[in-house]
Amino acid sequence: MKKFGVTTFSLFSCGIFILALGVSLTILSDLGASPFDALLVGLSKNVGLTVGSWEVLIAILLIGCNSCLSRHRPELLGLVTALITGLGIDIWIFLLKDLIEPKLWISKLAFLGLGLILIGLGTSIYLQANFAPIPVDRLTLVLQTITGLNILFTRTIIYLFFLIAAIIFNGPIGIGTLLTVCLGGLILNTLCHLHRKP
């Protein structure tokens, strides 16, 4: 892990800020969130606590899972990233829930599309900081290393797993969820590839 200086912190913060906004927009689009976020919303509605709180709680489980798969010590700094992301999601939802209530399909699709792009952009930016990624993103990288597949495939595999969990907990599944499964990994893979270009 490289030194976490001012520039790195700015990159990290900017990425998380954009990512949290993207997640909030997909949730508020009312077309269905990503499988992971749909699980968080489902748990929030049926069990209690905020969406951001479940981000942190699921992160704890994933940190243990990542540790077992990678055979390394638990990456506890990932919990810090998840905490900041969860807090950001809760803040964005609180600020935007009364401002964004799309009624028309075109506006719902617009918010969903913008949210997907911002999620991919934010993730690709904060990963460049080389700080501890959100545990679900670390899982993507761990599986990429284990399988030799690119981010597109590993991300899609993870999305399908969380899709099943989201259905079990009655999360907001819709066309947006399907688009996320189909396009989320592609967007992230493309943006990460662009960032690697000199």
The model's pLDDT over 174-194, given as tens digits with 9 standing for 90+, comes to 888 887 777 766 676 676 655
pLDDT reported for residue 7: 72
Range ranked top by mean pLDDT from 45-49, 103-107, 123-127, 188-192: 45-49
Q: Which residues of 101-114 are buried (b: 16+ CB within 10 A; e: fewer)?
A: ebeeeeebbebbbe
pLDDT reported for residue 119: 87
Question: 191: part of which helix (H) or strand (E)?
Answer: helix 175-196
Residues 47, 115, 190, CA angle at the centre, nearest 5°? Answer: 120
pLDDT averaged over the chain?
83
Residue at token pair 């911002």: 118
The pair of structure tokens assigned to 89 is: 């999601």
Q: Nearest Cα to 65, choosing from 179, 184, 148, 162?
A: 162
pTM given for the model: 0.80
Average pLDDT over residues 120-135: 80
Q: Nearest Cα to 141, choosing from 79, 46, 43, 75?
A: 75
pLDDT reported for residue 197: 47
Range ranked top by mean pLDDT from 42-56, 136-150, 177-191: 42-56
pLDDT reported for residue 21: 94
Inform me whether the pLDDT recorded for 42 exceeds 60. Answer: yes
Average pLDDT over residues 50-70: 91
Is the separation of the CB atoms in 131 and 2 below 8 Å? Answer: no
